[in-house]
A and B are shown apart, each in its own frame.
Chain A
Amino acid sequence: MKYVTKHWKVRSVIIMSVSLVVCAILWTLSLSEWAAEMNSAVTQAHDKPDISAIALGLVSLLKVTLMILIPGGLTLAITSLYKKLTLMIKTTSKG
């Protein structure tokens, strides 16, 4: 674990400090009018879906997996298409 433990105390303190500053800045959003509007709006309780707890757990895991895989797959497809297109443009402009 030499790579994790290398100056880990100082570095972790820096990471935590930066994170806390970012969080403090983000927290100021709660003072905005937008937040006040959302807080004053009447919230409706979400109805529980009519499925078993196991099915709900599996659906939740499936949702998480798909929501990661689909954008990831699309990004891979777009970047490979972009690479092919730039290569094609380069070869046609040379020829």
Chain B
Amino acid sequence: MSKKTWKDSLEKTRYVMDAWLLIGFILVCAPNTTGIVLHEWLSLVFIVPLIIHMLLHWDWMKTLPNKFIHNFSSKSRFNAIWDVFFFVAMMMVILSGFLVSVAMFPQLGIPLEVKPFWSEIHHSIGNILLPILGIHLALHWQWIKSMTQKMMAKANQRKES
């Protein structure tokens, strides 16, 4: 019998991928820690776990419009609105990030004139993304807590055997 791993469970796959996404997000949001060059390249790579996050919630996204109107609780409705708001803000930061690139595009030989408008938008909304993420995590806190307990229990079990 083959051993089951986290990859065999949707919830555990979500948990592991979300952990990577969170680590990536924190690194990307600290350009003074990574340096601007790494910040820009990491931001490009960050798009991959972001797409994976959405792929793993595909069914939720697909049923969202119908459920939103018909059978969502007020908490789920607020959560859905918050997620859409988070997505738009994220898009704004990614778009403005590309438009104020001082390392990646010049390294690729693409000339770019950085406009103060996009620079201001990138910094302001980039800072707003952090509390938006904090609230997003708090809204899923019960799931995070129970999954962490499950993953820890599994890890302890493996250590003992």
Contacts and interface: CB of A to CB of B under 8 A. Distances in A.
Interface of A: 1-4, 6-8, 11-12, 15-16, 19, 22-23, 26-27, 29-30, 35, 38-39, 41, 43, 56-61, 63-65, 67-73, 75-76, 79
- B: contact size bracket: 35 or more
Interface of B: 7-8, 10, 13-14, 17, 26, 29-34, 51-52, 54-56, 58, 87-88, 91-92, 94-95, 115-121, 127, 130-131, 133-135, 137-139, 141
Contacts of B135: 71-72, 75
A58 B139 CA distance: 28
Contact of B52 (A4, A19, A64): A4
B138 A79 contact: yes
Q: Is the interface of A mostly helix, strand, loop or mixed?
A: helix
B138 A76 contact: yes
Q: Is the interface of B mostly helix, strand, loop or mixed?
A: helix
A67 B127 contact: yes
Given A58-B33, A60-B32, 10 more contacts: A11-B55, A11-B58, A38-B117, A39-B116, A43-B119, A61-B26, A67-B130, A70-B131, A71-B130, A72-B138
